[in-house]
Amino acid sequence: AQKVTQAQTEISVVEKEDVTLDCVYETRDTTYYLFWYKQPPSGELVFLIRRNSFDEQNEISGRYSWNFQKSTSSFNFTITASQVVDSAVYFCALSEWTGNQFYFGTGTSLTVIP
Amino acid sequence: DTGVSQNPRHKITKRGQNVTFRCDPISEHNRLYWYRQTLGQGPEFLTYFQNEAQLEKSRLLSDRFSAERPKGSFSTLEIQRTEQGDSAMYLCASSFGGPRGNQPQHFGDGTRLSIL
């Protein structure tokens, strides 16, 4: 079973629009960690944020914000006032307390149109 | 901090040949991971080292695949008797941490393997 689901395959927005990328996860562990990565066209995965399962506080970093809701097993990512440089594939990932590997979703390809 | 380095960036080979990739992690990182990524998919875990010990292997890692990290620094991933299905991007990542994988992994640019 897929542990991380990113149902949105591709999203296009016009520059300066807000966009939310959805991530739903599945785990039996009570302690786990969630991550978001950005993969620009150059290919290198860039770490954006880590969230612990016991910390449900939402986080804002500049134009980026993350909404973690354990009740719905979701960890959504919002980009405010999108820019062309935000165009990339974004991956959500899960790391469980009982293991060492990361489980990645299939990614959401975001295109920001100028 | 020079980041995770992988080489070669691209490898084109004929089916049946052996290939070897190298990964140099961030120097102070004790954990090293190998992933495979195919088009339109997220990275899939292959194997993981804590220092020089290979502690976990995915069932994706068939007996044609072998990974080493002889001195707990750089790592190599070898694929023997390559098949068409091996064509993918092979990603290396490293992190620093204890027994649980709660630290972010830092990725290299990957090695793109194409099998003719």
Report pLDDT for B61.
Answer: 87
Instruction: State the Cα–Cα distance between residues A78 and A80, nearest whole angstrom.
Output: 6
Residue of B nearest to A44 (CA): B109
Q: Tens digit of pLDDT for each residue in B11-59?
A: 999 999 999 999 999 998 999 999 999 998 999 999 999 999 998 899 8
Q: Tens digit of pLDDT for each residue in A58-85?
A: 888 899 999 999 999 999 999 999 999 9
Interface check for B97 against chain A (CB to CB < 8 A): the answer is: no
Amino acid symbol at A49: I
Cβ–Cβ under 8 Å, residues B102 and A35? no
For range A89-94, the mean pLDDT: 96
Instruction: State the Cα–Cα distance between residues B14 and B83, nearest whole angstrom.
Output: 9
CB-CB under 8 Å, B33 with A101: yes
Given a cut of 60, is residue B1 above it in pLDDT? no
Q: How far is A32 from chain B (nearest CA, A)?
A: 8
For range A39-62, the mean pLDDT: 89
Q: Which residues are bridge partners to B78 per DSSP?
A: B20, B66
State the average pLDDT for chain A.
93
Taken in order B81, B86, B89, B94, the sign of the CA dihedral is negative
DSSP state of B9: S
| Element containing residue A11 per DSSP (H, E) | strand A10-14
Report pLDDT for A55.
Answer: 84
Banded pLDDT at A113 (limits 50, 70, 90): very high
